[in-house]
Amino acid sequence: MDKLPKATELLKKLPKAREVLKKVPKLPDFPDPPSLKKFVTAKLKFAPDVSAVQPGIPPYCDGLVLTPRDSFLREVCRKLIGVEVCYGELGCFTTDPPWSLTLERPISSLPRPPEEIQVQFLLRTRNTPSTGEFIRAGDRAALAASDFIGTRPTKFITHGFIENGFVAWITDMSQEILRADDCNVIAVDWGSNGGSMFPYTQATANTQIVGAIVAQMITFLMQETGNSASSYHLIGHSLGSHTMGYAGMRVPGLGRITGLDPAEPYFQGTDPMIRLDPTDAELVDVIHSDGGFFFTSLGYGMYDPTGHLDFYPNGGIEMPGCDEGLTHYIDMNGGIYEGGREYVACNHLKAIVYFHDSINSICPMMAYPCRDYDRFKDGHCLDCRQGCAQMGYHADKYKPAPGLTNLKYYLDTAARSPTCLYHYQVMITLGTDSDAEEVDGYLHLSFVTQSGTVTEYYKLTDDPIKLQPGNSYMYFLKLPTNLGNLQRVRFLWDYDWSIANPSTWFIFSRPKIWMDRIQVMAGESQNRMSFCAFNNYFVEDVASDLRLC
């Protein structure tokens, strides 16, 4: 093979590559362009022909493997030329832009051959929830002997980086789904033979071929059983989210893909063909739990919306329960590996926890459309007239209008399972009176349910506020229990006074405020309740009941 013409084409592109790679942190230093050109030209001239050993890899690039610097130059060579490899009916894969040589993906790899990754499919049904049985695309005998029933809905679940299809969370989630529905649940393993392992760039490349193999399996099942693409639901965590996106690209009419904190590095900000996006299925719902920028806060997940429905629990960046020390997680998980994993990637893993908790939860994990999380925290977004959606397994109960994508929903969760919370907006309207005056204080509220149960007092204000006659004050409560319909509310306030400030002293009487009403709105039920005080006054540190009006 004449290598010098190829080398000439490569060298024409090197200055452009140098400019791109300058912007990428922590890459080896480049020599000046003239010396780089001379160095590469010399190596290419004597490059051995290894195309028979590595089909699809141009030999003039592999001839650069002599030193660590040569290895890096070989990667540059391969990316500049636009390497392609084909794997039969699975199709061809390339490192041409946008798959490489972009700011988001400065250097990429080609996916490993399918025989190296050895993707496995473990089928579980209600008859085999613990053991499962392996099936393979094209193996009609194994499928016929299995418990797969084409009339049932089918769920695929897959893992992300440095995991495999037999990790505990996939088994637990599969069994939890089977408790909820009589369906086929198929765990996808692409990590047992190293497909999901280091380096990360190789694992990201492997997701493409794994997605193609998942699509191949779905097509086989559809052909053998006659079921429709709409009956398939693909669930993936981290890199697995994008893996399922690649599968969806190949299966027209696929019913649903759920992305559990889709991986950020090499995906956020890329072309939609690179990452999970709304065109990959009829419904794409995404839980964002670790959306901090990777290079500044080690956020492993995407923050950008990437589905039809994008859920941001607790704002999508920092999750409750993820601020403990390493020993806490080791104790909680019963082992160094499991504890260390949660310590390093707690926020990233919370998306799995939330989805798992949602499957059989009585609490609906209702999420609310809102401009941003700050506005949601202030209690402004509990109204569902514009459409609310459930985060997690039951997200498909809400159907967004055709053409609408990247709809953002917010909710809060608890630090530990069960993580679902109920959301309440409380509006307190003070009354007016000739004796009423502005005071500083703290507000507390308790609820009395229809059954007569009295809740604890919830502190509405951490800091004292100015209570001005006639003003309204809105608060946001998140509770682990559903209060249902209420008989009454119990109100208590504390006066804030200072011994150093005589103007706050009430010498001859206790301070009072006048109350008009308290309104409570339950987000999950959309029930609105008003409790009237009829402009009566409330003495500080004395509990008073308000009844429905």
Q: What is the set of active-site residues?
A: 238, 261, 348
Asked if 302 and 264 touch (Cβ cutoff 8 Å), the reply is yes
Question: DSSP E strands: which ranges in 431-526?
Answer: 439-449, 458-459, 465-467, 472-479, 486-495, 512-522
Residue environment code for 205-218, b if the CB has 16+ CB neighbours within 10 A, otherwise e: bbbbbbbbbbbbbb
Secondary structure letter of residue 206 according to DSSP: H
Q: Which residues contact 463 (CB under 8 A, 6 or more apart)?
A: none
Q: Are 236 and 158 within 8 A, CB to CB?
A: yes
- The answer on whether 285 is annotated among ligand-binding residues is no
Name residue 446's beta-bridge partners: 490
275 marked among binding-site residues: yes
Instruction: Please give the structure tokens belonging to residue 12.
Output: 């024409």
User: Exposed (0-12), middle (13-18) or buried (19+): which is 314, by Cβ within 10 Å?
Assistant: buried
Burial of residue 433, with CB atoms counted within 10 A of its CB: 0-12 exposed, 13-18 middle, 19 or more buried: middle
Which residues does 344 contact at the CB level (< 8 Å), separation at least 6?
A: none
Whether residue 279 contacts residue 264, with contact meaning beta carbons closer than 8 Å, is answered with no
DSSP state of 90: G
280 known ligand binder? yes
448: Cβ–Cβ under 8 A, 6 or more apart, which residues?
454, 455, 486, 487, 488, 489, 490, 545
CA distance 341 to 330: 9
Length of the chain in terms of residues written: 549
Q: At what angle do helices 200-225 and 239-250 cross, to 10 degrees?
A: 40
Structure tokens at 530: 């008003």
Query: Which residues are part of a known binding site for Ca(2+)?
Result: 275, 277, 280
Query: Which residues are part of a known binding site?
Result: 275, 277, 280
